[in-house]
Structure 1
Amino acid sequence: MTRRLEGKRAIVVGGGQTPGTTTGNGRAVALTFAREGADILVVDRVLESAEETAELVRKEGGTAAAHRADITSEADCAGIMDAALEALGHVDILHNNVGIVPAGRTEDLPVERWRQGFEVNLTGMWLTCKAVLPHMRERGTGTIVNISSMAGLLAGGETIAYSTSKAAVHALTRNLALEYAPHGVRVNCVAPGMMDTPMGVDATARAGGVERAEVAARRAAMVPMGHQGTSWDVANAALFLASEEAAFVTGVVLTVDGGFTLNAVAQ
C-alpha cells in the first residue's frame, strides 16, 4: 500500500455487510481506505454489521468506530456528523454507498416502492452530504465520493425507478461539485457495472429462485471483458477519487464496468 490517505478521516456510509455473502462495496471501501492510512467511521442501518467491519479494520491495525443511522432520517444524518466529530475529530472524506433496487415496470410498480427508492438512493445521499458539507466548507477542504450505478446511464423497463434515481445521483453529484468547488470541496461519483457483490448477485439469485453461480455466469457473459468486477474494483476507484491524486477532479461520473455501457450503446 502507498498510504495515499495517510492522516485522513473518513465516513463510510453503508459500510456494513450482509452476513454470509461476498464482500460488498461498503466494506471493501472501509478496508481499502483504512489500509491506505485513513481513520474510519463505519455507518450502517444495522449497528452489528457496522461494528463487524470496524473490527476487521482494527484487526489489520487500523482505527475505526461504528455508528448506526438510517439515512432517510435527517436527524440520523446529523447524528452521523456528530459521531464523526467525536470519533475522528474532523472529516476529510464522505463516502456514500447505500442503495436499494425497487424493481418493476411502471404499471406494476407501487408508488410506495418508487418513493422508497428515491428516499434511499437519492434523498438519503443528499441528507448525508447536507450534514457534512458545512464542516468541509468551514475547513476549506474535503471530498465526497458517491456510489451510483451504470443503470443511471442506461434505461430498462424493469428498473425504471432504480435507473431514474441513479441518474438523479449523477445530477446531484455534479450540482454539489459546482456549488462547493469554490470552498475547496470535491464531489465525484463511481458508477459500477456488473459486480460480484451481495446486491448484484446474491439478491438477484434469491429474487429469481436460482443458484448464485447461474446468476454470476449470466452477468459475466454480458461484460465485454468476460467477467464481473468485484467490490475491490469499486473501492480502488473510490480511493483514487478520494485521494490527492484526483486533486483536480470534481463532478465526474467514473464508470467501473468492464466496458458494459460501451457494449450497450453499440447495440
Structure 2
Amino acid sequence: MGKRLEGRRTLVVGGGQTPGSTVGNGRATAVLFAREGAEVVVADRELERAAATVDEIVAEGGKAWAVAADVTDESSIAHMVAFARSTMGGIDVLHNNVGVSLAGGDAVIGDIDMETFDRVTRINLTSMVVTCKHVLPIMEEQGGGVVLAVGSLASLIDYPYIAYKTSKAGVVAMIENIAVRYAPRGIRANAILPGLMETPMAIENRVGLDGRTREQVIAERDSHVPLRGKMGTGWDVAHAALWLASDDAGFVTGVALPVDGGQALVAG
C-alpha cells in the first residue's frame, strides 16, 4: 500500500499540544500525515510546541515547517495561511484541531459568564470559520481540497459545560455548510468527533479537580467507554483524519464521524 497523502500539502492548526505524557490529537495527526507522504505546516499558539512537532517529523525524514498563530486574531490567521501557501505552494488539506473547555473557564449554564462563553466560542468555532474563509479560496483556485475539523462527541451527548458543547455543535454545522456549498468545486469537508481520549488536554486539566489523582481521572473516563473499557488516543483521531483526507474517502463529504469506542451508544 502506497503512502496515502503522497505530495499533499497540509496545514494542521493546533499541531502542538499541552505538555503531558501522551500524544495530543493535533501532533499525532501532523506526524501521521507526514509519515503518509504529506508536507505539513504545523501551526500553534506557542511556536515552541509547533516546532517540537516539526522536529519529530523531520527526525523521521518528513518535510514540515512551524508557524505561530493566534486563532483569535484574523490577521494572525491570514498570516498563517499565507505562510502555508507560500511555503508549500498551496494547501490541499486543512486540518483544524483547536479547542478549549475547562482550561478556558467553561462552566454549566447557570454559572457561565459572557466573557468566558465568548472566549471559548471564539477559539472553538469562530477561529475555524475564519481559517476556512482564508483557505477555501486557495482550494477553489486549485480545483479541490479537503477541509477537516475536530469537533467533539460532547455535541451529541449529555455534556455539562455549555460553551464547549454549543461551540463544538457549531463546528458540525459549519462543516455541513461548507460541504454542500463547495462540493461542486471539488472540495470535501468533514468533521471528526472524538469521544473520551487520553490526551494531555483532556487529562492534565482534570488532575487535581475535586482532589482526583491522574489514576482516578483515567479510571473514571475509561469506565464510560464500551470498547475494551479504555479511552482512545491521539492516534485514533489521527487515523480517522488520515482516512478522511485521503482518496479512500473521496466520495465522503458532510460527515460528522464519531471516534468514541461506542460511547455515544450508551451515553446518548
- TM-score in terms of structure 2 length: 0.96
Deviation at 1:17, TM superposition (A): 2.0
Q: Which residue of 2 aligns with 1:71?
A: 71
Q: Distance in 2 between matches of 1:173 and 1:182?
A: 15
Tell me if the contact between 2:57 and 2:64 (Cα under 8 Å) persists in the aligned partners.
Answer: yes
In the alignment, is residue 181 of structure 1 matched against residue 183 of structure 2? yes
1:246 aligns with 2:249: yes
Distance 2:241 2:158 in 1: 24
CA contact (8 A) 2:153 2:264 kept: yes
Residue 114 of structure 1 is matched in structure 2 by 117
Q: Decide whether aligned partners of structure 1 residues 221 and 155 sit closer, same or farther in structure 2, where only a CA change above 3 A counts.
A: closer
Q: Distance in 1 between matches of 2:2 and 2:213?
A: 39
Write the distance in 2 (CA, Å) between the matches of 1:171 and 1:182: 19
Asked if residue 201 in structure 1 is aligned to residue 199 in structure 2, the reply is: no
Identity %: 49
Equivalent in the alignment of 1:97: 97
Matches within 5 A, 1:1-267: 2-101=2-101, 102-156=105-159, 158-225=160-227, 226-265=229-268
SS of the equivalent of 2:181 reads helix
Q: What is the CA–CA distance in structure 2 between the aligned matches of 1:103 and 1:161, rounded to whole Å?
A: 6
1:18-41 deviations in Å (ceiling 9; x for gaps): 234311000000000000000000
Aligned length: 264
Shift of 1:86: 2.1
Q: CA deviation at 1:15?
A: 0.2
The residue type paired with residue 252 of structure 1 is V
Q: Which runs of 5+ in 1 are unaligned?
A: none
Q: Deviations over 1:192-218 (max 9, x none)?
A: 001000122121114444211111111
Q: CA RMSD in A?
A: 1.2
Is the partner of 1:12 in helix, strand or coil? strand
Q: Relative to structure 1, is the Cα distance of residues 227 and 112 closer, same or farther in structure 2, using a 3 angstrom cutoff? A: same
User: How far is 1:42 from its partner?
Assistant: 0.3
Change (3 A) 1:89 1:219: same
Residues 206 and 13 of structure 1, relative CA distance in 2, 3 Å threshold: farther
How far apart, CA to CA, are the structure 2 residues paired with 1:12 and 1:68? 12
Matched letter for residue 77 of structure 1: I
The answer as to whether partners of 1:97 and 1:147 remain within 8 angstroms in 2 is yes
SS at match of 1:204: coil
Residue 57 of structure 2 aligns with an amino acid whose one-letter code is: V
Q: Distance in 2 between matches of 1:20 and 1:200?
A: 10
The two structures have a TM-score, normalised by structure 1, of 0.96
User: Which one-letter code corresponds to 1:150 in the other structure?
Assistant: L
Spell out, residue by residue over 1:167-188, the C-alpha distance to the aligned partner (whole angstroms, 9 max, x if none): 1111001001111111110000
Unmatched 5+ stretches in structure 2: none
Residue 77 of structure 1 deviates from its aligned partner by 1.0
2:72 aligned partner, one-letter code: T
Q: In 1, distance between residues paired with 2:88 and 2:209?
A: 39
Distance in 1 separating the partners of 2:68 and 2:45: 5
Q: Distance in 2 between matches of 1:190 and 1:206?
A: 29
Q: Give secondary structure in 1 for the equivalent of 2:7.
A: coil
In 2: Cα distance, 1:208 partner to 1:99 partner: 23
Deviation at 1:228, TM superposition (A): 0.4
